């Protein structure tokens, strides 16, 4: 992410108290007239606290949640007799993880689609040299990973400490990996537009250990196989795609790409195959670095762009979310995303188009490091300050 994970923690209780004192309603900001009928996030329910810098939550296809803590642990959270609680540590890999910079650490987790039978899962982290590593582990038992099963799948050299990406997700047998542009500011090496580097990209691989010396396989349908560019690249022109997801119904990829100094963006990317999202030529829908509105050769423009300079300028880094698809959910068919610094959470229909009106955001008061889902499709908000919240109505 662009902003520091070490930013002062702004508690939801504090913001609620301030809002009450000045007469604001924080439970839900009133939507505009044009969106009055749209379902929006109106409340969060805290399910567990006391976590250590959580940055992601996901599931393994059962009733447990797996929370990724930036310093290098994965802990299990489960509903025990009606009370959510941390029931144990699934994996401790702190000895491998470098979390010295606020954007480094253990950043991603994905369970293989056949996890129930093969026990394989994948983690993404920064190592002692400051480079990004994708690694494979096996489970040892239901609630424990085997730390000795470690296998390095992918290693990417990174010139700076920030913009490390970290999102992992399977679609079918293939693993998608979001990789930041290498860091600093403004993409000084032009990695986003350079198809000869894996930085600033979304990659797509088959991570299973193939015969021979290679540690992963390249799907033949990747867009740059047999063409100029790295075979593993699926999409490019991204700055730091901090949390992405696939719509369970349509399979569409949604990307939250963190901006530089002015704009944050959400991309409804379809398959995203071979697409160029424009960084560092554009930031949001504007030319970079001039800030002028892009008129021609704008690559793939986002469907949502929002500025930092709004309501006190406290937006700073988008956190991509999920489309609610749980049958019967009040928010079914809506995409939910937020901003790390302001704690705002927006809700838009999955068929939202650029220029459509947006309902006013929900003010969570959280440092939104991620969203995630359980196996039933309920959506959760991860607060870097140490708590996990369920989005009511999902």
Q: What is the DSSP letter of 307?
A: E
pLDDT value, residue 349: 98
Decide: 234 and 203 in contact? Cβ < 8 Å.
Answer: yes
pLDDT value, residue 8: 31
Q: What is the DSSP letter of 32?
A: P
Residue 28 has pLDDT above 90, yes or no: no
- CA 222-169-7 angle, to 5 degrees, is 120
Rounded-to-integer distance, Cα 265 and Cα 300, Å:
12
Q: What is the pLDDT of residues 99-121, one digit of tens each?
A: 999 999 999 999 999 999 999 99
> Is residue 224 in a domain?
yes
Q: What is the pLDDT of residues 185-205, one digit of tens each?
A: 999 999 999 999 999 999 999
Q: What is the CATH classification number for the domain harbouring 102? A: 2.120.10.30
Residue 38 pLDDT level (bands cut at 50, 70, 90): confident
> Is residue 289 in a domain?
yes
**For the chain, how many structural domains are there in total?**
1
> Is residue 323 in a domain?
yes
Share of the chain above pLDDT 90, in %: 89
Residue 30 pLDDT level (bands cut at 50, 70, 90): very low
Q: What is the pLDDT of residues 242-300, one digit of tens each?
A: 999 999 999 999 999 999 999 999 999 999 999 999 999 999 999 999 999 999 999 99
> Is residue 222 in a domain?
yes
Residue 316 has pLDDT above 70, yes or no: yes
> Is residue 3 in a domain?
no
> Is residue 6 in a domain?
no
Residue 163 has pLDDT above 50, yes or no: yes
As given in the structure block, the two tokens for residue 93 are 């890999």
On average, the pLDDT of the chain sits at 91
Share of the chain above pLDDT 70, in %: 90
pLDDT value, residue 25: 29
pLDDT value, residue 311: 55
Residue 54 has pLDDT above 50, yes or no: yes
What is the domain extent for residue 191? 12-391
Residue 36 pLDDT level (bands cut at 50, 70, 90): very low
- CA 52-165-314 angle, to 5 degrees, is 70
Residue 382 has pLDDT above 70, yes or no: yes
Residue 312 pLDDT level (bands cut at 50, 70, 90): low
Integer angstrom CA distances of residue 171 from 40, 153, 206, 290: 27, 18, 10, 37
Residue 27 has pLDDT above 50, yes or no: no
Rounded-to-integer distance, Cα 393 and Cα 375, Å:
16
Those residues whose C-beta lies under 8 Å from the C-beta of residue 332, and which sit 6 or more positions away, are: 324, 325, 326
280 prior amide bond cis, ω within 30? yes
Q: What is the pLDDT of residues 10-22, one digit of tens each?
A: 333 333 333 333 2
> Is residue 101 in a domain?
yes
> Is residue 7 in a domain?
no
């Amino acid at each position: 992410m662009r902003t520091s994970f070490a930013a002062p923690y702004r508690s939801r209780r504090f913001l609620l108290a301030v809002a009450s004192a000045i007469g604001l309603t924080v439970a839900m900001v009133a939507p505009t007239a044009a969106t009055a009928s749209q379902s929006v996030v109106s409340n969060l329910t805290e399910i567990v606290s006391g976590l250590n810098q959580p940055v992601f939550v996901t599931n393994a296809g059962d009733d447990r949640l797996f929370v990724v803590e930036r310093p290098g642990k994965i802990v299990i959270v489960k509903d025990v007799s009606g009370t959510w609680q941390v029931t144990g540590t699934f994996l401790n890999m702190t000895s491998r993880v470098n979390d010295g910079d606020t954007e480094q650490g253990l950043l991603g987790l994905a369970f293989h689609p056949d996890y129930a039978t093969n026990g394989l899962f994948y983690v993404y982290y920064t190592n002692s040299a400051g480079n990004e590593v994708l690694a494979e582990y096996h489970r040892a038992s239901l609630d424990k990973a085997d730390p000795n099963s470690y296998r390095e799948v992918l290693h990417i050299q990174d010139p700076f400490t920030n913009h490390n990406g970290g999102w992992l997700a399977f679609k079918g047998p293939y693993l998608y990996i979001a990789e930041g542009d290498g860091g600093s500011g403004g993409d000084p090496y032009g990695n986003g537009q350079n198809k000869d580097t894996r930085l600033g990209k979304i990659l797509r691989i088959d991570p299973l250990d193939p015969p021979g010396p290679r540690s992963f396989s390249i799907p033949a349908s990747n867009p740059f196989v047999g063409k100029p560019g790295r075979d593993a690249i699926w999409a490019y022109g991204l700055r730091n795609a901090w949390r992405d997801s696939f719509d369970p119904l349509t399979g569409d990829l949604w990307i939250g790409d963190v901006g530089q100094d002015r704009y944050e963006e959400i991309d409804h990317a379809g398959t995203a195959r071979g697409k160029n999202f424009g960084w560092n030529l554009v930031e949001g829908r504007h030319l970079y670095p001039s800030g002028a509105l892009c008129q021609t050769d704008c690559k793939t423009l986002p469907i949502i762009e929002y500025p930092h300079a709004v309501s006190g300028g406290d937006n700073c880094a988008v956190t991509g979310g999920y489309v609610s698809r749980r049958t019967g959910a009040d928010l079914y068919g809506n995409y939910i995303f937020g901003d790390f610094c302001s704690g705002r959470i927006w809700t838009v229909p999955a068929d939202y188009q650029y220029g459509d009106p947006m309902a006013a955001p929900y003010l969570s008061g959280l440092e939104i490091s991620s969203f995630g889902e359980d196996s039933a499709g309920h959506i959760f908000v991860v607060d870097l300050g140490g708590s996990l919240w369920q989005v009511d109505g999902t």
